[in-house]
Amino acid sequence: MRVKNKNIFLIAIIALLFLAACGPSLAERKRMADANYKLGLKYYSEGNIQLAYVEFQKAIETYSEDRDSYYMLGIVNNNMGKLDEAVKMYKKALSIDPNFSDARTNLGVVYSSQKKWDEAIEEFKKAISNPKYQYPQSAHYNLGLVYINKNDLQKALKEFETAIRVQPNFEPAYFQMGQVYDRMGKRREAIINYLEAIRINPGLIDAHYYLGLAYYKEGSKKLAVEEFKKVIEAAPESEFAASSKRYLNILK
């Protein structure tokens, strides 16, 4: 009996050693990675980028298919100015989930920062083509910015208009439409869009400034003075305020 019990004991020890050698199960690794991911999000929301980076890195080391941690590493690296590394992280997230349109849009934004316009366009269009994408207005808006940089103003307008159809109170798109119409010399259309941007966000200093400038160019001096004064009052130390003061001196 003693020999039999001893054998059972040895088998149990061997089984435990085997399990220890195998490491945590897949479910356990996912759970651990999720804990690191959530802690990383907490640090990121608090503005502690370095600690956030460490936690997201731990997550992918624990579970190499953690799509969301790769995505957040892309965001963190972008914030740190490490654009090539951000591209790698977004691409890794997309290799895990090709339909991850948030990653495609952010990848397009990084390509835009690198002035890789054609690559950016490709990513934004892929994001838009996903019918399940929750924020297509973001891809349309950023695609419009690319077209501005390529000096294709008509395509830019089309993208901003589409962004607004998706999200009617999308203030950045109204502001950029104002900028595009300004470049086209269509002052009235520019004014309409600046006013709409300000209606949505009354504190938008650059919209007040460019609205004042549009009024000035149109010859509406009184309205221009009102807008330049708003800029100076709201942001007295800004470059917009300094420029507004120069225009006010001209308009005296």
Q: How many CB atoms lie within 10 A of CB 21?
A: 7
Question: In terms of Cα–Cα distance, which of 200, 124, 211 is closest to 164?
Answer: 200
Contact 33, 25 (CB under 8 A): no
Give the pLDDT confidence score for residue 19 in this predicted structure: 41
Give the pLDDT confidence score for residue 101 in this predicted structure: 97
Three-class DSSP labels, 68-95: HHHHHHHHHHHHCCCHHHHHHHHHHHHH
Give the pLDDT confidence score for residue 26 in this predicted structure: 87
Label residue 71 exposed, middle or buried (CB < 10 Å: 0-12, 13-18, 19+). Answer: buried
Half-sphere CA count of 89, side-chain side, radius 13 A: 24
Each residue of 140-174: pLDDT tens digit? 999 999 999 999 999 999 999 999 999 999 999 99
Q: What is the DSSP letter of 60?
A: H
Q: Is the dihedral of CA 151, 152, 154, 160 positive or negative?
A: negative
Residue 11 pLDDT > 80:
no
Of the chain, the end-to-end C-alpha distance in Å amounts to 110
What tokens does 188 get?
């009235």
Residue 125 pLDDT > 50:
yes
Give the pLDDT confidence score for residue 17 in this predicted structure: 42
Lowest mean pLDDT among 14-23, 61-70, 205-214, 223-232: 14-23
- This prediction has a pTM of 0.86
Question: In terms of Cα–Cα distance, which of 152, 205, 162 is closest to 183?
Answer: 152
The span from the CA of 97 to the CA of 167, in Å, is: 26
Which amino acid, one-letter code, is at 177? M
